[in-house]
Chain A
Amino acid sequence: MALFDALLELADDHLVLGHRVSEWCGHAPMLEEDLAMPNMALDVIGTARSLYDYAGKVEGAGRDEDDLAYLRGEREYRNLLLVERPNEDFAHTMLRQLYFAAFMHPYWTAALTSQDETIQGIAGKAVKEMAYHIRHAGEWVVRLGDGTEESARRMADAVQSLSIYVGELFEEGAAEGVDVLPSRAAIRDEWLATVKRVFDEAGLTFEDSKFPQTGGRSGVHGEGLGHMLAEMQSVHRAHPGATW
């Protein structure tokens, strides 16, 4: 079941991040971002769906994407703490997206040569999307870091508050020993290079946290995730067995 667990971790990362980004829809700082953010949310929710679907098949217990997304509680969710962080402001949201995409792009690139055809297929689509997310979120990190005094302060605050969640990205988690998925630890250098390139242009400094927060992979989350899931699952759970 290691593959099932590893797929679930990946799927949860994508769904939770997509949900957070989708919370902006209709409330963005400008109309262009009201189009771009749902686009990014759709990309990662789409990947989550493929991963849940595959996880359900690997498990072989008849659970589909909705059973896995809607009928597990917060202690069963296995996502990274980074992706569940609240949106806070546009600076936090864009930095969170950059951190995630800067990891997932090399991850999916490595997965293109996986021995597992389904994973290869998911990677083929996701890798293009992640390149776009790095570009879009990276450009905003630069604009905000090198914009006004206020935007630079907000961007620096975002760096400060999100850096403690970076270390968890590189933990192998349930994927330890699953040879059809790439090693997460091996991605650190490339992640750092991408983030440094953006930070240099933005006038920001990246410092690795000495005390990274972890726990997402064992279902120990921040307090926000429970609220998010309560909202997300409310209609589905109120009508057990209904189809939509």
Chain B
Amino acid sequence: MYSQGLIGADGRSEETPEFLAAFQARVDAETKIEPNDDMPEGYRRTLVRQIGQHAHSEIVGMLPEGNWITRAPSLRRKAALLAKVQDEGGHGLYLYSAAETLGVSRKQMTEELLDGRAKYSSIFNYPTLSWADIGIIGWLVDGAAIMNQIPLCRCSYGPYARAMIRVCKEESFHQRQGYEIVMKLAQGTPEQKAMVQDALNRWWWPSIMMFGPHDADSQHSDQSMAWKIKRFTNDELRQKFIDATVPQAEYLDLTLPDPDLKWNEEKGGYDHGPIDWDEFWRVVKGFGPMAKDRVKARKKAWDDGEWVREAALAHAEKRKARAQAAPMAAE
């Protein structure tokens, strides 16, 4: 899954104007920046935060969907959901590895997630309340993620861009899988149809909030755009997503919960109603309905697993010591 528009990054940089201009020229020439290249500290910091947030989002994102693995209504769905949640974990792993190329460890990033210093996508702070949520998350949340992530495949930072290529392939599969779940429900019994409409009503607005604040209110967009970390603005991506999604909902005879949603011939896209930014900021600041539970669940897994990680290290040390002792004993 995905992290929303970057929250709270500080891209300031104190390098000389010549250094910054030379760096900008490389970026403008579409030369990929690699781990050992010189880069402005602000560029490095922005990427560490963004990739870290993205990785954390994948990991925390395993929880809302994992909530339905044990209740999936058919064996085929159970296997597919398990595989999907596993993919999210895999995305987390590539992304942590990409962030590690910038000099930050996975352990450090994990600790920042657990003590609340690091953010993750607030979409995961909403609860999954029915099986239909699994379909809607695949369709909308993964769909929104793809809109954001396809441009990231061309991000100026090489390791991030390359990680995103594989991530995007898998996300696109997840999106189709989600839509297929939704389609089955929309064409199913009246109860199934009501279930999927209810899930759509709950997830629509949080999904379009995933693109982050309006461009006019997005503080860090300009620098990230110049450094080609970001290629499109929040509003551009949100518009693309809405334009792609409305016909998909119409096809299934589902109603998007926005009475102001209508086609605007002049701009060649849909207009939408006002977004509740109070809710957005409330959830971003950690007051989403599941925020405390998500971090608590991650912390519990980390704390409960500590003895396992310690044992693995202790065993590796013992093996090493035995291997070193063995030739001596043979002498």
Residues 179-195 (chain B) with a chain A CB within 8 angstroms: 181, 184-185, 188-189, 191-192
Q: Which of B2-10, B137-145, B160-168, B297-305 contacts A (4 or more CB under 8 A)?
A: B297-305
Whether the pair A239, B73 counts as a contact (CB closer than 8 A) is: yes
* Whole-angstrom CA separation of A65 from B79 in the bound complex: 13
Residues of A within 8 A of B184 (CB): 243-244
Q: Which residue of A lies closest to B304 (CB)?
A: A29
Q: Say whether A22 faces chain B, with CB atoms less than 8 Å apart.
A: yes
Are A45 and B93 CB-contacts (below 8 A) given A30-B309, A147-B310, A236-B74?
no
Given contacts A34-B89, A147-B311, A239-B191, are A27 and B300 in contact (CB under 8 A)? yes
Tell me the bound Cα distance from A2 to B60 in angstroms: 46
CB distance from A77 to the nearest CB of B (A): 15
Find out whether the CB atom of A143 lies under 8 angstroms from the CB atom of B188: no
Q: Kindly state the separation between the CA atoms of A234 and B70 in the bound complex, as whole angstroms.
A: 10
CB-CB under 8 A from A242, the residues of chain B are 73, 188-189, 191-192
Q: Specify which of B83, B92, B304, B314 is in contact with A42 (CB 8 Å cutoff).
A: B83
* Other-chain contact of B70, A22, A66, A69, A142 (Cβ < 8 Å): A22
**Chain B residues bordering chain A, tally (CB within 8 A):** 48
Give the residues in chain B near A142, CB-CB below 8 Å.
315
B131, B304, B308, most chain A CB atoms within 10 A:
B308
Contacts A150-B311, A235-B73, A235-B131 given: A26-B301 contact, CB under 8 Å? yes
Q: Decide yes or no whether B62 CB sits under 8 A from chain A.
A: yes
Within 8 A of B (CB), among A75-131: 89-90
Q: Is A25's CB under 8 angstroms from B311's CB? A: no
| Min distance, Cβ B197 to any Cβ of chain A, angstroms | 15
Residues of B within 8 A of A234 (CB): 71
Q: Are B93 and A35 in contact (CB under 8 A)?
A: yes
User: Is A5 engaged at the interface, CB distance under 8 Å to the other chain?
Assistant: no
| B292 beta carbon closer than 8 Å to chain A | no
A143 touches B311 (CB 8 A): yes
Which one of B72, B83, B191, B305 has the highest number of Cβ atoms from chain A below 10 Å of its Cβ? B305
Interface presence of A7 (CB below 8 A)? no
Q: Which of B50-109 contact A (CB under 8 A)?
A: 59, 62-63, 66, 69-79, 82-83, 85-86, 89-90, 92-93, 96, 106
Do the beta carbons of B73 and A236 come within 8 Å of each other?
A: yes
A239 to chain B, nearest CB (A): 6
Cβ of B307 < 8 Å from any Cβ of A?
A: yes
Contacts of A52 in B (CB 8 A): 75
Asked whether A46 lies within 8 Å of B79 as measured between CB atoms, the reply is yes
Q: Is B312 an interface residue (CB 8 A)?
A: yes
Which residue in A25, A29, A39, A70 is a CB contact (below 8 Å) of B69?
A: A25
A41 interface residue per 8 A CB criterion: yes
A41 vs B305: C-alpha distance in the bound complex, in angstroms? 19
Check if A243 sits within 8 Å of B188, measured CB to CB: yes
Q: Is A151 an interface residue (CB 8 A)?
A: yes
Contact yes or no, B297 A39, CB < 8 A: no
**Per a CB cutoff under 8 Å, which of B75, B79, B305 touches A30?**
B305
Residues A26 and B63 in contact, CB atoms below 8 Å apart? yes
B301 contacts A28, C-beta separation under 8 Å:
yes
Closest CB of chain A to B91's CB: distance in Å? 11
Question: With a CB–CB cut-off of 8 A, which chain B residues contact A35?
Answer: 86, 89-90, 93
Additional pairs, 9, CB under 8 Å, beyond known A15-B75, A19-B70: A22-B78, A26-B66, A27-B301, A34-B89, A35-B89, A38-B86, A143-B315, A242-B73, A244-B73
Q: List 22 A-B contacts (CB under 8 A).
A: A19-B70, A26-B89, A27-B66, A27-B297, A30-B309, A31-B89, A32-B93, A35-B86, A38-B82, A38-B89, A42-B79, A46-B79, A66-B75, A143-B311, A143-B312, A147-B314, A151-B308, A151-B310, A154-B307, A232-B71, A239-B189, A239-B191
Measuring CB to CB, which residues of chain B are less than 8 angstroms from any residue of chain A?
Answer: 59, 62-63, 66, 69-79, 82-83, 85-86, 89-90, 92-93, 96, 106, 131, 181, 184-185, 188-189, 191-192, 297, 300-301, 304-312, 314-315, 318
